[in-house]
Amino acid sequence: MAVFLLGPIIWSFYGSLTNAALTGPHAVNVDFIGLDNYRKLFADPTFPLSVGLTVIFVLGSAVISQTVLGLGLALIMEKANKFLSGLVGTIVVTAWVLPEIVAAFVSYAYFSKDGTLNQLLAGIGIPAINWLYTYPMVAVCLANVWRGTAFSMLIYQAALNDVPPEITEAAKIDGAGGLKRLRYVTIPMIKRTINTTLMLVTLSTLSVFTLIYVMTSGGPGNLSTTLPILAYKEAFKFSDIGYGTAIATVMLLVGAVFSIVYIRALRPEKD
């Protein structure tokens, strides 16, 4: 724990208090500058934009979309026949098992101006849209949903298999319809699984870099520059390692806040 988790966190925080650079004199002679990087960060107009885009990306493509879609697919596959269940499962899981860089290039090809999506829309008379330029956050959110929904679906499938069928049957005999059984029986019984899945999906989405960088590189301008993209640009494009590390540290704190919320939700309820 100390070597592989706590150590890197402490070293990263220390790096954010220095003027370390990728090139130049500060690449060799690093000076301690205290909180200057954080003062610069909170004065940077790009930072609040990146925070907002990160929240939109996490909420839109993980907390809401992947959770709802994953649970919906798991419920459908539970009721479907073996052939349909296997077909849907294979299609959804294929996107998940692809290497991230491959999934990113596939998404880029799909949403580009001459890509698959515009070819399909042209078939029904809708003019081509440059999705990656006009609606970059919509494109990356949909790509992340496509990429990550399988994870939620598989976890929910396992949780639904553990719901005692006699309880569901008893609710059905008592006259509870499908939506009422879902609301009052199924969801309460898999509540801890939902909270755990939300935590894992949120933290993994918070650190997504390759998908966005390949599709938009944070552009146009900064309209899809989430915190990981901003940290990369400052550290490696502009060679300011200390400033980029400060951004990464803020991202670490954001992830810690999400984790604390979810862990508190996972605590056993008192009688």
Summarised one tens digit per residue, pLDDT across range 52-98 is 999 999 999 988 888 899 999 998 888 888 888 888 888 888 888 89
pLDDT at residue 271 is higher than 70: no
6 occurs within a structural domain: no
pLDDT for 228 equals: 95
Both tokens of 84, joined, read 């349909």
Confidence of residue 246 (pLDDT cuts 50, 70, 90): very high
pLDDT at residue 210 is higher than 70: yes
20 occurs within a structural domain: no
Confidence of residue 218 (pLDDT cuts 50, 70, 90): very high
Separation CA 230–CA 66 (nearest Å): 24
What is the domain extent for residue 93? 46-266
Separation CA 246–CA 13 (nearest Å): 7
What's the number of CA atoms in the CB half-sphere (13 Å) around residue 257?
8
226 occurs within a structural domain: yes
DSSP SS3 for 18: strand
Confidence of residue 269 (pLDDT cuts 50, 70, 90): low
203 occurs within a structural domain: yes
Separation CA 102–CA 154 (nearest Å): 22
> pLDDT exceeding 90 applies to what percent of the chain?
53
* CATH number, position 134: 1.10.3720.10
167 occurs within a structural domain: yes
Identify whether 136 is preceded by a cis peptide bond (ω within 30 of 0). Answer: no
29 occurs within a structural domain: no
pLDDT for 79 equals: 83
32 occurs within a structural domain: no
Buried b (16+ CB within 10 A) or exposed e, 9-42: eeeeeebbbbbbbeeeebeeeeeebeeebbebbe
Separation CA 243–CA 238 (nearest Å): 10
Average pLDDT of the residues of the chain: 90
pLDDT for 270 equals: 58
Residue 236's contacts (CB-CB under 8 Å, 6 or more residues apart) are: 22, 244
Q: State pLDDT tens for residues 8-51.
A: 889 989 999 999 998 888 888 899 999 999 999 999 999 999 99
100 occurs within a structural domain: yes
**How many domains, the chain?**
1
Both tokens of 103, joined, read 């999934």
